[in-house]
């Protein structure tokens, strides 16, 4: 893994392929759009889970909040996608800033509960404020304007996929810069040993609050992208299984590695499409089985097949 922050040549190739894909394979554009959004969501979770060691089961709160904000903004104020995206980002960031004091204290269990509770509270809110959000029916009738005043969102999702892909790339670059900066190094120090980090004079609380806010902003952007490209926002966005799914995505790809989110999203979406085409109703069983096997075999070994034949888990 590239610990020094220099760009490798294969990364350029990867991104060029990713951005060209919707135009080369137009029939997969909708899937690619979804993958880009899930990847962005997973990368944002990686910032707090993989790099800072905060176990969160409520990351969907920011995702859903960003989605609803962007959708409402498009419906009530103006349909321009980029401004809407900014609003979604702002919403996610502000929410995370407000929520950040709750994750600073306590054990893994209490953090798990608090993040979970935040997601549930927002879901209740979206459900009960039905004059604004449409309640359980979801927020319908969101019409997006053309991108940059020129490119209309088409039915095949090619524009949408490129849009999501470019946003993913931009935020990925930001995140990459962030984790390779001294700031990123202190985050990993906090993850590895909080007490010692505090002892060498790093303010743990403020670092965690900042990274939580950054992650919330990115998750808000991911949600806004989903709402804009699908023209729809529903309660499903806040559900527990969405937080669990994104955690799974990240774990498939590997935590503490930014490409983990991207790779995981690719594998997860394809796996989900494949499984739900075989057993539409019961695919959660296979997801569950996969999780169990993944943990029992060991996350590190599962995602790195070349370690399967060594004994003792040495790198």
Partner 1 sequence: MLTILFDGIAYGMLLFVLAVGLAVTMGLMNFINLAHGAFAMVGGYITILLMQRQGVPFLVCLPLAFAGSALLGAVLERTLYRPLYHKPHLDQVLFSLGLTFMAAASVDYFVGSSMQIVQLPEWLKGRTEIGSGDWVLGMGHYRLFIIVICGALTLALQYVLAKTRFGSRLRASVDDQRVAAGLGINVNAVFLSTFAVGSGLAGLGGALGADVLGMDPGFPLKFMIYFLIVVAVGGTSSITGPLLAALLLGIADVAGKYYIPKLGAFIVYSLMIVILVWRPQGLFVRKGGRS
Residue 273 binding partner 1, by CB under 8 A: no
Q: Nearest approach, Cβ of 201 to partner 1 (angstroms)?
A: 24
Only segment of 142-150, 173-181, 199-207, 295-303 that touches partner 1 (CB under 8 A): 295-303
Sites for partner 1 among residues 197-256 (CB under 8 A)? 240-241, 244, 247-248, 251, 255
Sites for partner 1 among residues 43-72 (CB under 8 A)? 49, 55, 57
Q: Nearest approach, Cβ of 297 to partner 1 (angstroms)?
A: 11
Residue 304 binding partner 1, by CB under 8 A: no
Q: Nearest approach, Cβ of 50 to partner 1 (angstroms)?
A: 10
Q: Nearest approach, Cβ of 305 to partner 1 (angstroms)?
A: 19
Closest to partner 1 by CB, 82 vs 244, is 244
Q: Rounded to the nearest 5 degrees, what angle is found at the Cα of 210, between the Cα atoms of 18 and 257?
A: 35
Of 19, 83, 94, 112, the residue at the interface with partner 1 (CB under 8 A) is 112
Closest to partner 1 by CB, 48 vs 213, is 48
Q: Which residues bind partner 1 (CB under 8 A)?
A: 49, 55, 57, 101-102, 105-110, 112-114, 116-118, 120-121, 124-125, 128, 240-241, 244, 247-248, 251, 255, 281-285, 287-292, 294-296, 299
């Amino acid at each position: 893994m590239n610990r020094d922050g220099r760009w490798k040549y294969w990364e350029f190739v990867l991104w060029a392929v990713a951005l060209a894909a919707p135009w080369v394979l137009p029939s997969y554009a909708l899937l690619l759009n979804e993958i880009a959004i899930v990847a962005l969501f997973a990368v944002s979770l990686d910032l707090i889970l993989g790099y800072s060691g905060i176990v969160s089961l409520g990351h969907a709160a920011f995702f859903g909040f960003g989605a609803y904000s962007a959708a409402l903004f498009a419906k009530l104020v103006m349909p321009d996608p980029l401004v809407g995206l900014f609003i979604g980002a702002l919403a996610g960031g502000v929410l995370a800033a407000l929520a950040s004091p709750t994750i600073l204290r306590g054990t893994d269990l209490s953090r798990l509960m608090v993040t979970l509770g935040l997601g549930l509270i927002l879901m209740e809110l979206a459900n009960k404020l039905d004059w604004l959000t449409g309640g359980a029916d979801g927020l319908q009738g969101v019409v997006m304007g053309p991108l940059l005043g020129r490119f209309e969102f088409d039915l095949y999702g090619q524009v949408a996929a490129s849009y999501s892909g470019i946003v993913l790339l931009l935020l990925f670059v930001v995140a990459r810069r962030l984790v390779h900066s001294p700031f990123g190094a202190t985050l990993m120090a906090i993850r590895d040993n909080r007490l010692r980090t505090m002892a060498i004079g790093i303010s743990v609380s403020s670092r965690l609050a900042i990274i939580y806010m950054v992650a919330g902003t990115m998750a808000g952007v991911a949600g806004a992208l989903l709402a804009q490209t699908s023209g729809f926002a529903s309660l499903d966005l806040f559900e527990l299984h969405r937080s669990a799914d994104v955690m799974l995505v990240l774990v498939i790809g590997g935590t503490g590695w930014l490409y983990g989110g991207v790779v995981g999203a690719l594998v997860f979406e394809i796996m989900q499409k494949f499984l739900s085409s075989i057993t539409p109703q019961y695919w959660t069983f296979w997801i569950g089985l996969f999780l169990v096997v993944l943990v029992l075999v060991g996350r590190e070994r599962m995602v790195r097949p070349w370690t399967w034949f060594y004994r003792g888990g040495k790198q």
